[in-house]
């Protein structure tokens, strides 16, 4: 059992009977530490929203129209990539009759706002957001998707959208990938610091 300020001890005993491992485990005691959470930054796709299901269904539909099947191995190679990068991977892997540019155009035409209507939040995501909001923890989103796409996704999830104070998107910059929001956030903070000086 854990108590604040006590040491955490793992016990392998059953029904109160000490096991031969108890003595060994006592050597690995660690103090229970409580840290204060001051802010939280969430990724959106796959963490807050089950958007991967939309991307997978759309990609599979487009590939089917050209006579291809979206396998798990191929899907893995596409995950986390911007549409142009994913299209280039598809062309490289499948040697299809379409070009990367044609695939991207088809993708953009078919990724309409109504696709996000049935997208669910990930298990526990809304509960976590509401819990953090209840404790006045500031929250933001940092994502590699386009800003208009983020607005469309969050439109159907007001418990999430209304509790995020900021959202940084990198998708609008076609040369940057999903990890760039953090870089942009750092640069924004630097500008704010200079403006306030």
Mark whether 43 is an active-site residue.
yes
Q: Which of 22, 43, 114, 172 is catalytic?
A: 43
Burial of 83 (0-12, 13-18, 19+ CB in 10 A): buried
Mark whether 114 is an active-site residue.
no
Residue with token string 């997208």: 119
Q: Which of 45, 108, 172, 186 is catalytic?
A: 45
Active-site amino acid positions: 43, 45
């Amino acid at each position: 059992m854990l108590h604040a300020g006590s040491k955490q001890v793992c016990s392998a005993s059953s029904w109160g009977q000490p096991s031969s491992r108890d003595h060994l485990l006592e050597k690995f005691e660690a103090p229970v530490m409580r840290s204060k959470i001051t802010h939280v930054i969430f990724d959106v796709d796959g963490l807050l929203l089950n958007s991967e299901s939309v991307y997978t269904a759309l990609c599979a539909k487009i590939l089917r129209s050209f006579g291809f099947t979206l396998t798990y191995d191929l899907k893995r190679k596409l995950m986390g990539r911007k549409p142009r990068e994913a299209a280039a991977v598809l062309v490289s892997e499948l040697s299809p009759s379409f070009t990367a540019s044609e695939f991207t155009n088809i993708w953009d035409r078919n990724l309409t706002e109504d696709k996000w209507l049935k997208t669910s939040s990930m298990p526990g995501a809304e509960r976590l957001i509401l819990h953090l909001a209840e404790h006045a923890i500031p929250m933001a989103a940092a994502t590699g998707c386009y800003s208009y796409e983020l607005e469309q996704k969050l439109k159907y999830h007001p418990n999430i959208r209304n509790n995020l104070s900021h959202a940084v998107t990198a998708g609008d910059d076609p040369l940057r990938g999903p990890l760039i929001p953090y870089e942009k956030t750092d640069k924004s903070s630097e500008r704010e610091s200079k403006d306030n000086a």
